[in-house]
Amino acid sequence: MDLTVVEGDITAQDVDAVVNAANRRMRGGGGVDGAIHAAGGPAVLEDCVARFPAGLGTGQAGWTTAGRMRARWVIHVVGPNYAAGERDRSLLVSCYANALAVADSLGASSVAFPLVSAGIYGWPREDAIATAVDTLRSTPTDVRSVRIVAFGRAWYDDICAAVTESH
C-alpha cells in the first residue's frame, strides 16, 4: 500500500472514498464532518439517517454515498473525544483499521483520511499523527493508495516527517 500526505481539502480529493471524522449521531457537525456534509450535499445526510438511525459508536465505521463529491463513498468513523475524557488509544486505532475494513468491503482502491480526533476532539497532535501513520502502515488491506490529507502547512510538515520516519 502506498501512503502519501497531501495538504488541502479532503472533500476535493479524487479517490474512491473519503473518511469522515463524524460524531456519534451521524447527522453532520463541524470541522471535517461539516465540510463533508456541505460538499456532498443532502444525499450524505439522507444516507446517514437511513443507514445509521441510532448513529455509530466510538471507534466504529460505516459508509454512505459521497453525494456531489468526486469520491464515490464516504466512510464515516467516530473518533474518541479526548477533550471529554475518551482517552483509550485503541478506540482511535480502531477508527483507521475499521475504515480500511469498510474500504475493502466496498472494493475501494484509494482512500483519503483526515487526522481523526485531532481537531475539536483534542487528541494530542503527536500521538494523533503517530496513531494514524502506524495503524495505516500496519493494518492488512487491499486498498492500494492511502493519503492523509493535512489541513494546513504545519500539519502537513509534521505528518510528512512521521511518514518518513516510519518507512
Q: How confident is the model at residue 125 (pLDDT cuts 50, 70, 90)?
A: very high
Residue range 106-134: mean pLDDT, rounded: 97
- Report the number of distinct structural domains present in the chain: 1
Percent pLDDT > 90 in the chain is 99
CA–CA gap between residue 163 and residue 123 (Å, rounded):
19
Whole-number average pLDDT of the chain:
97
> β-strands 73-78, 61-65: how paired?
antiparallel
Pick 167 or 1 by higher pLDDT.
1
pLDDT at 85: 97
Determine whether 72 is exposed, middle or buried from the number of CB atoms within 10 Å of its CB (0-12, 13-18, 19+).
Answer: middle
Query: Which residues, other chains included, contact 122 with Cβ-Cβ below 8 Å and sequence gap of 6+?
Result: 81, 82, 83
pLDDT at 167: 78
pLDDT at 82: 98
pLDDT at 117: 97
Residue range 99-113: mean pLDDT, rounded: 98
Percent pLDDT > 70 in the chain is 100
pLDDT at 166: 85
CATH number, domain at 98? 3.40.220.10
Q: By residue range, what is the domain housing residue 144?
A: 2-165
State the catalytic residues.
33
